[in-house]
Amino acid sequence: SRCSSHLPRPTACPPPAQRASQTMSIPFAKVRIVECGTQLAGRLTARLFADQGAEVVIVVNHDCRAVKEFNAETNAYLNRGKIKLDLPEGDGKSKSDMIKSADIVIVDGESAECQRSDKQILLRVCAALIGDQVYGYLPHDCDDDFLNGLVGFYTDMAQESFLDRKVIYTPLRLCSVYCGVTGAVACAAALVDRERSQLGREIQASRLAGGIAAIGALSLTIEGPSLPKYLISAPISYVRKGLDMKDFEVIRKEAVHNPLKQLWLEQRLVPLGAPYPCSDGRLFLPMATFNRGIARRLVDLLGIWSKVQELGIVDCTAYEAANDKYRFHNLALPLNFAWQTGCSLAELLEATFKQKTAAEWEALCCDHKIACATVLSFQEWFEDEETRKAKIVAQVEEQWQIGRSVWLETAKPYPPRLQAKEFQGADASAMLAELLRSKVAPCPVKAGGSAWDSGEALHPMKPLAGYTVIDFCNVLAGPACGRMMAELGATVYKVGPKLPDHAPVVMVTWQAEENIGKQSIMLDLKSEAGKKVVRQLLSKADIALANKHDAQVEAMGIGRSTLDSIVEGGGKGPKIIQLQVTARRGEEMQGVQAANWPGYDPALQGKTGIMERFGPQGSPTFHGVASCVDYLTGYTACFSGLTALYAREANGVVSERAGTSLACCATLVQCNMQGDSPVVRGPWARGRTALNRIYQVGQPKTPENADPEYWIYAQAGRNLCDEAKAFKGTREEFLEQLRKEGILAVPVHTCKQIAEISKTEA
C-alpha cells in the first residue's frame, strides 16, 4: 500500500527577513548538528532537532545498506529540512572543518571522525554500549531485527501466545526509533546544561538499551509480604474463574485458524477492551479495561448498567480490602471477570455496538471522555482528514509525511516544512564555505548561570541537576517522562490521587517502575487544602507535567494563566513550563475535533493501524499492551519539555506550553511504513525475507506452538529452516555453529529474560 500523495506546490515562502524572524523563534535555531552516521536512530535524532529549528548538515555518503533499506518516502522524511553536502571523495579537510563547527556531532559506533572539543556534544549511536560484556560482539550497524529478537519484541509483544503464536516477527524498528528519541533527549539535556556549564559531553545511545527502555511494564514482577493481597494484580492471561478448560480447548483450536472466532474469544476475555463490529461493518474499540470511572461512564452511556448489574457486576473501588470479595465481578477489575460474566457482558456490548457506525460511537464516547477508537489501517490513518488537519501527517512540498512529533506554542506558526537541500560538486563547496562563514565553532548562546544558583559542582551524569519537575501524570506515558527527567538529575515530585480510578496493575505494578527516583505525595486535588499544597509545590517548579486534557489542566490549577501567576515563595511564574501529554492532539489544534479526546496506548494502536498490522485479517491484535506506544510517548514528551527548557535558558522564552501525544508517537513508531510499506504482517510473520527471519531450532514437543527458547533470528545466504528444525543439539550449540560459519544470529528472548540477563551483568 502507498501512504503518500502528491499535491500542488504550496504557496511561496515568506520573504527572507520574515523567514529569518520566524526561524529565530524556533528553539534550536542557533544549534548546528553535523550528521556523520547512517543509522536510523541517529538520523531520527537529527530529524527531531531539525523540526525544532536546528541546522542539520549531512556529510556522510548515503549510498549504503543502512540508508537503502528504506524506501524513498521514509528517507525523504528522515532527511526533511536538512542540508546534504556531497563532498568529493578524499576531501577530509572540508568534512573535518564542518564537524569542528558543530554543536552536536552524530556518528555511528566507535567512529573516530570527531575529535570533540570541550563545547561539543558527541552522540555515538551503537548497537550495544561500547565495551558491553554480553552484547559487545554485535556490529554497531546490525539490523534492528537482531535487537528486536534479543529484547523480547518477538515474544511478549505477541498478545495471543495461547493461540499457538508464542513468537511473531515485527517489522517495526522499535529499538532504533526508541534510541533515536532517547538520543535526542540526552542531547537536549546536554545543550541545556551547556548553557550554564559551558561544557559539552560525549553520549552513547544504545539501540539495544532503547529497546529495553520500551519493555519495563512487561518485565515487572511485584510481590512481597508487605504488599496486601488485594493490590496484587492477577497475571494477564486467558485463564478465567469458571472456565472449563476442555471446552476452552475446543474454542481455542478454532480461534487459531478462524479470525472471527479469535475476535469472538477476545471479546469475552477482555469485554471492555476488544474490537466490536458496528452497523457499517467497521470495528470499534472501547478502552475501558484499566479505569473504573471510564468503565462506568461507558455502560451508563450505552444504557446497559441495569443489565450489567443483573450479571452480578458491582462498581466499587479496588483499593479497599473489604472489596476483594468482588474481584471476579467488579467493574474496576474487568481483566478478572469470571468466564461467564465476561461472555454475558460481551454479548450485551456486541448487540449494542451494532446500533451505530464506528465513527458515531467514537465521537459519542470521546465526547463523554471514554477512550476508544475506530480501528483503521495505517494507510487509512495516514490519509485521514483529521490526521492531516492536526498535522500529525503534514504536507512537505509535494508530499505527505509524518509531521512534527513535539511542538511548542511560542514557536507557532512553524515555518513551512521543506525537503532536504542537496548540494553536489561546486555547489557543495560553495554551500560549505557559506556554512563555515556563518559558524566556525560550537558555542552556547549565553555565558552560563541562567538557572544554576546552588553553587554546587555539576554532575557529569546528571545534566538536569538543579531543575524541578512537578509530575501530575498517571498510567505509563506521562510517568515515564517524569522518570526520565529524574534519571537525568532533575528533582521530580510525583502528585497522585488518594483513591485512584485506575486499576492496581496501573497504579501499583506499573508505577513501581515509573516512580523510581521521584518523591511522591498523595493529594485530594478537589479540596482547598490540596490546591494550596499544589501551588506550594509549583512555586519550586521549572516544569509542570500532566497527561490531562485542557479542561482538566485548568481545573487542577496548572493551566498556563495560573502558572504565570505563581511568583510567591520564589516561584518562577511565566518561566514555569507547562508540559502536556495528550492522546489525539497534533501540532495544530484549531478545528480538530479530536484535539481533546482521551486515549490509551491500545486505543491508539487501533486508530493508527498497528493492530491491523499484527492481527489476522478480521481480528486486529495489540502489539504489546504497554510498550509499543506508551513509553515512546513518555520519552518524546521529555524531549519536548527539554526543548522548551532550552528555549527558556538560551532564548529567554516564557509562558511556554509544550507537548506531544500518543497519536503522534504511534505514528512515529511506524515511520518506516510510509510509502510502499512492508508486506510483512499478521500473526504468522517470520521475517522481512525468506533468508532474514526467525527460525525454530530442534523438534520441541509442540512444534506448532514452540516456546521462545527454541527460536533464533538469523540473516544467512541460505534458508536455514530445515537444518534448524533437524538440529539435534541445543539452541546455543546451533548458534555457535552459525557463528563459526560467519553467520550473525541471536537467540530470541522474552522481556523478562533480557531483564534478568541485564540485572545479572549489572
CATH architecture of 16-140+167-215+407-444: 3-Layer(aba) Sandwich (3.40)
Question: Average model confidence (pLDDT) for the chain?
Answer: 90
- Beta bridge mates, 125: 108, 205
Assign domain 461-668 one CATH number from 1.10.10.10, 3.40.50.2300, 3.30.565.10, 3.40.50.10540: 3.40.50.10540
Q: Which residues pair with 692 in a beta bridge?
A: 715
- pLDDT beyond 60 at 447: no
Cβ neighbours around 86 below 10 Å, total: 16
Asked if 277 and 361 touch (Cβ cutoff 8 Å), the reply is: no
Q: How far is the CA of 384 from the CAs of 357, 359, 378, 536, 585, in angstroms?
A: 17, 12, 10, 44, 14
CA distance linking residue 208 with residue 144, whole number of Å: 9
Quick check: 670 and 592 in contact, CB under 8 A? no
User: Do the domains spanning 16-140+167-215+407-444 and 461-668 agree at the CATH topology level?
Assistant: yes
Q: How far apart are CA 45 and CA 125, in angstroms?
A: 10
Side-chain half-sphere exposure of 251, counting CA atoms within 13 A: 16
Cell of 153: 519484541
Q: What is the pLDDT averaged over residues 631-638?
A: 97
- Euclidean distance between CA atoms 678 and 379, whole angstroms: 12
> Can you give the C-alpha Rg of the chain in angstroms?
26
Residue 15: which pLDDT band, with cuts at 50, 70 and 90?
very low
**Which of 167-171, 378-382, 468-472, 584-588 has the lowest average pLDDT?**
167-171
Domain definitions of the chain by residue range: 16-140+167-215+407-444, 229-365, 461-668, 692-761
DSSP string, 182-214: HHHHHHHHHHHHHHHH---EEEEEEHHHHHHTT
pLDDT at 625 over 90: no
Q: Against a cut of 0.85, is the pTM above it?
A: yes
The Cα 336–Cα 710 span in angstroms is 31
For the segment 309-355, what is each residue's pLDDT rounded down to a tens digit? 999 999 999 999 999 999 999 999 999 999 999 999 999 999 999 99
What DSSP line would sit under 34-70, residue for residue? EE---SHHHHHHHHHHHTTT-EEEE-S---SHHHHTS
CB-CB contact of 638 with 645 (8 Å): no
Locate cell 504482517: which residue? 681
The predicted model gives 392-408 an average pLDDT of 96
Q: Which residue has the higher pLDDT, 12 or 129?
A: 129
Instruction: Find, among 310, 190, 32, 326, the residue nearest to 643 by Cα.
Output: 190
Give the residue from 630, 602, 628, 603 showing the smallest Cα distance to 484.
630
Give counts: helices (H), strands (E), the chain.
30, 22
Structure confidence at residue 20 (pLDDT): 40
Angle of helix 630-651 versus helix 174-197 axis, rounded to 10: 20
CA-to-CA distance for 585 and 494, rounded, in angstroms? 24
Burial (CB count within 10 angstroms: exposed 0-12, middle 13-18, buried 19+), residue 62 = middle
